[in-house]
């Protein structure tokens, strides 16, 4: 045994990389989960307002998805199929076409990438560059698109960018909607930079954006802004890429976050909850005229997850075959808004951010937001922060969370905030 090894440390402390993150603030060892609750090895149960960072939009262990997956495995169904034709892939694509794409008049092809959102973003950027023959991508302040080198070039967060250990090129950063205080029109700003031959911004292959910036602090672009950016992209010969990895799959109240905005992206990146069950899967939706990669030109052993095809099909048919689930989401969105308004009222100058079931409160201080989330964890609620200074308390509860459970979770959150704001070690808002 190495001299410096302490067997009283947990296996995680002894062997897991220092890159671990969420477990530092929530050190319990979790063992079981169901719906919107997760239980640790001491038997303590927590309400989950994190949902795998929006990878579990339909909750933990949905019984119908679980039953379908168990049946598939028990019958020796394909476990790994590269990009071969399989019955499970066909069934998923048919469900996606019938219930998602066709009703929205989307003619997009489906391209399966490696199983992470960052891989989907990398593929989208590569397609745009190949289609246009240009190299520059326009991305936005506070955008988060992944931490692999290509995707990281489009990510704004300085901490994550610092992990690259090299220069990150090929992306021009522009101000997102509302980035400047006052009445500055950031679409006009971008248009002027692109039109001026001495503006210094190369003609873009694509404009890449999230309609709601999840990790960036729940900055929600207005429908008008998104529509004008889409028109600007077309005017300048650039593809429009919408990153719906966190904001999609119902998180904003509709299956895609850009619905009802009057835009049709050239490429949509999807991952996280697209599998329905928390299984790794990522994909692109790409307009047919831009589906120009040659066979295996964007490769990967795990492009397409056969087990995820099973659960994703169930998720689509169960929740999106009609509009009943979407109507339910609208009601829950209002409940979340009202509950977070109570939280915002406790902190001077705090304000609500986001939309749909992707909302939070900017409390003005990362220390304060972190302390509230830490106290909430102690009291049985899992919730995290986001934003440039981690100053936003961010709610990503499963979309299927019962209203009574939502209310119970918000009761814990408000109690935690009160403890932090009024207790003996109170933290004041900045």
- In tens, the pLDDT along 81-116 reads 999 999 999 999 999 999 999 999 999 999 999 999
Residue 171 contacts residue 136 (beta carbons within 8 Å): yes
Lowest mean pLDDT among 5-14, 34-43, 348-357, 375-384: 5-14
Residue 357 contacts residue 397 (beta carbons within 8 Å): yes
Distances (CA, A) of 327 to 51, 253, 263, 400, 402: 21, 8, 22, 12, 14
Residue 160 contacts residue 126 (beta carbons within 8 Å): no
**What dihedral angle (degrees, nearest 10) is formed by the CA atoms of 361, 258, 92, 302?**
-70
DSSP state of 232: H
Query: Which pLDDT score, from 0 to 100, does residue 430 have?
Result: 55
Q: How sure is the predictor about 343, in pLDDT bands with cuts at 50, 70 and 90?
A: very high
Q: Which residues contact 293 (CB under 8 A, 6 or more apart)?
A: 111, 126, 127, 130
Enumerate the β-bridge partners of residue 362: 351, 392
Calculate Rg over the CA atoms of the chain. 22
Which tokens in the block code for residue 136? 């520059």
Query: Which pLDDT score, from 0 to 100, does residue 183 have?
Result: 86
For all residues of the chain together, what is the average pLDDT?
96
Which tokens in the block code for residue 223? 């429908």
Residue 265 contacts residue 241 (beta carbons within 8 Å): yes
pTM for this predicted structure: 0.96
Task: Give the total residue count for the chain.
Answer: 430
What beta strand segments (E) does 180-316 contain?
A: 204-209, 212-213, 219-220, 239-243, 267-270, 283-286
**Cα–Cα distance, 46 to 38 (Å, whole number):** 5
Which tokens in the block code for residue 224? 């008008």
pLDDT tens for residues 174-231?
Answer: 999 999 988 899 999 999 999 999 999 999 999 999 999 999 999 999 999 999 999 9
Which tokens in the block code for residue 326? 């979407």
Residue 240 contacts residue 233 (beta carbons within 8 Å): yes
């Amino acid at each position: 045994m190495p001299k410096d090894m302490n067997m009283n440390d947990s296996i995680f402390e002894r062997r897991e990389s220092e890159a671990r993150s969420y477990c530092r603030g929530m050190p319990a060892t979790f063992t079981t989960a169901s719906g919107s609750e997760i239980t640790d090895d001491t038997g303590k149960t927590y309400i989950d307002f994190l949902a795998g960072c929006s990878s579990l939009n339909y909750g933990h262990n949905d019984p119908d998805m679980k039953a379908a997956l168990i049946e598939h495995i028990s019958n020796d169904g394909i476990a790994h199929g590269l990009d071969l034709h399989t019955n499970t892939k066909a069934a998923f694509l048919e469900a996606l076409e019938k219930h998602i794409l066709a009703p929205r008049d989307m003619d997009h092809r489906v391209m399966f990438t490696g199983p992470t959102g960052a891989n989907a973003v990398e593929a989208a950027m590569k397609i745009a560059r190949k289609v246009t023959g240009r190299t520059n991508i326009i991305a936005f302040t506070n955008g988060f698109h992944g931490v692999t080198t290509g995707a990281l070039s489009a990510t704004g967060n300085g901490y994550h960018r610092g992990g690259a250990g090299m220069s990150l090129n090929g992306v021009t950063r522009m101000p997102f909607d509302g980035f400047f205080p006052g009445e500055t029109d950031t679409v006009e700003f971008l248009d002027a930079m692109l039109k001026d031959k001495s503006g210094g911004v190369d003609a873009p292959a694509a404009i890449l954006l999230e309609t709601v910036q999840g990790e960036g602090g729940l900055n929600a672009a207005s429908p008008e802004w998104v529509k004008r950016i889409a028109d600007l992209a077309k005017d300048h010969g650039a593809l429009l890429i919408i990153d719906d990895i966190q904001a999609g799959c119902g998180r904003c109240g509709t299956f895609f976050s850009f619905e009802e905005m009057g835009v049709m992206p050239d490429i949509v990146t999807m991952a996280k909850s697209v599998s329905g069950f928390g299984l790794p899967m990522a994909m692109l939706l790409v307009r047919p005229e831009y589906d120009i990669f040659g066979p295996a030109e964007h490769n990967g052993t795990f492009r397409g997850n056969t087990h995820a095809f099973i659960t994703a099909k169930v998720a689509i048919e169960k929740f999106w075959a009609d509009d009943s689930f979407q109507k339910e989401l609208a009601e829950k969105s209002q409940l979340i808004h009202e509950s977070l308004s109570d939280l915002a009222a406790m902190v001077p100058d705090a304000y609500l951010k986001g939309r749909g079931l992707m909302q939070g409160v900017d409390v003005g201080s990362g220390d304060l937001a972190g302390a509230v989330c830490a106290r909430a964890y102690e009291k049985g609620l899992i919730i995290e922060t986001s934003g440039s200074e981690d100053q936003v308390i961010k709610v990503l509860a499963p979309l299927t969370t019962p209203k009574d459970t939502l209310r119970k979770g918000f009761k814990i959150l408000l109690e935690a905030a009160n403890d932090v704001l009024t207790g003996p070690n109170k933290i004041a808002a900045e």
